[in-house]
A = this chain, B = another copy of it.
């Protein structure tokens, strides 16, 4: 069962990009825009091995994603929790992110593990443990 209230699921499922934050190693936050998909209470972010944010997650195992609807009053929320970097058997998760980004009814054919590994693809998986800064979610349908 999902811990997420329906408006939070609606927010996450209605957008394809969010701002991911990690701790950069000097105590300061690092932020960048990422494509994601929701899988139950997990957020899947497709990235590349060696990127700064991926190294941050490998080091400290935590990340957050702030997602916003782009119309005033900008309904939004920040989802945070334990995070890990997946490097094996990531074909289905990578296809799920692509499907969400494209708004497709079905996921694209999963790439082979060999092709994903050769391209250095990884999945950062965030287990949503905390929702904060949730605002204007009642405006999602009318926004």
Chain B neighbourhood of A78, CB < 8 A: 30-32
B contact residues around A76 at 8 Å (CB): 32-33
Complex partner residue of A19 from B19, B60, B62, B135, CB under 8 angstroms: B19
Contact, CB under 8 Å: A66 / B33: yes
Which residues of B sit under 8 angstroms from A19, Cβ to Cβ?
19, 21, 31, 66, 68
Q: What interface size band does chain A fall in? A: 20 to 34
> Which residues does chain B contribute within 8 Å of A135, judged by CB atoms?
33
Contact B133 A31 (CB under 8 A): yes
Assess whether A132 is interfacial by the CB under 8 Å rule. yes
- Residues in chain A within 8 A of chain B (CB atoms): 17, 19, 21-23, 27-33, 60, 62, 64, 66, 68, 70, 74, 76, 78, 80, 132-133, 135
Q: List 6 A-B contacts (CB under 8 A).
A: A17-B68, A19-B68, A23-B29, A28-B80, A32-B66, A32-B132
